[in-house]
Amino acid sequence: MSEIAVIMSVYRADRLDYLKEALESLYCQMPRPDIYVQQDGQVEDSVAAYLLKAEECGQIAYLGKRDTNKGLAISLNELLKKVLARPYTYIVRMDADDISLPERVTVQYTFMEENRDIDVLGGYIEEFSNDGSYHKIVQYPLKHDEMYQFFAKRVPLAHVTAFFRRNFFEKAGFYPVESPTNEDTLFWMRGFKNGCRFANIPEVLVKVRVSSAFFSRRGGINKAWSDLNDRILVIKTLGYNTSSYFYALALFFVNIAPAKIKQFLYKRLR
């Protein structure tokens, strides 16, 4: 058994070819992590068959199955209950359509071993589209205090790069389920509130696949309103100043903008 576990949720929209790339990017990591996967409701037959075979041959340590889609936060919490019942030291997040760089786990594991005060570690991401129309390196602040100040405007750590020490969950609990789309935002809020220490590494750790649907999913008045309310909750809970509300309102208008405009703004302002 490894001292590192990866948690990944798979749902109906996940494609087999992307899932293969995601999992294969984990098989070569050192130290080799144990991979825990939750099927969040019905998935494509080809995806289900591939996951079952991966479990049977030992590439996946655990495969949870559920007929009903309950969302990412609930799926991750179900996996965490499995993982935290065993003596893993570290828990790694991974999405089913992203690609971890070959040295990701090595780099994060080494940092965490050398910095025992850090509870969660992230890094930069490389966003890309398959058709080449979009590409961007997204950087984040590196140190805890810088990340706390950055959080007044937007999230300070890319969820797909998160490398947790199990202490994080002992301090902050499990993923919040009250928000339909911002479980990571509210989770980082809980972490800061409960004394967790954050850090980022100044290098790309994960390649994040971006499609036209990526920007359209971030549109719509309902999601924009939900995001605004979650952002206000963060501001109030962590005691940020009034200027933070202006950034929250600006983000609201970005979220309701058409997908083409949103893509333009994401590429230049993030």
Write out the DSSP string of 20-33: HHHHHHHHT-SSPP
pLDDT for the residue numbered 3:
97
pLDDT tens-place values along the chain, 270 residues long: 799 999 999 999 999 999 999 999 999 999 999 999 999 999 999 999 999 999 999 999 999 999 999 999 999 999 999 999 999 999 999 999 999 999 999 999 999 999 999 999 999 999 998 888 789 999 999 999 999 999 999 999 999 999 999 999 999 999 999 887 889 999 999 999 999 999 999 999 999 998 755 554 555 678 888 889 999 999 999 999 999 998 888 888 777 766 665 555 555 555
Q: Which two tokens stand for residue 259?
A: 């997908």
pLDDT for the residue numbered 16:
97
Q: Which amino acid is at 111?
A: F
pLDDT for the residue numbered 43:
97
CATH architecture type of domain 4-207: Alpha-Beta Complex (3.90)
**Distance between CA 216 and CA 225 in Å, rounded?**
15
DSSP-derived letter for residue 58 is T
pLDDT for the residue numbered 133:
79
Percentages (nearest 5) of helix, strand, coil residues in the chain:
45, 20, 35
Q: Which residues pair with 121 in a beta bridge?
A: 163, 199
Candidates 15, 71, 62; CA nearest to 40 is 71
**What's the longest Cα–Cα distance across the chain?**
55
pLDDT for the residue numbered 262:
57
- From first CA to last CA, the distance across the chain in angstroms is 39
pLDDT for the residue numbered 52:
97
pLDDT for the residue numbered 181:
80
pLDDT for the residue numbered 102:
97
Q: Which residues pair with 64 in a beta bridge?
A: 38
**Distance between CA 28 and CA 102 in Å, rounded?**
7
Q: Phi and psi (nearest 5°) for 35? A: -110, 125
| DSSP helix/strand/coil, 40 | strand
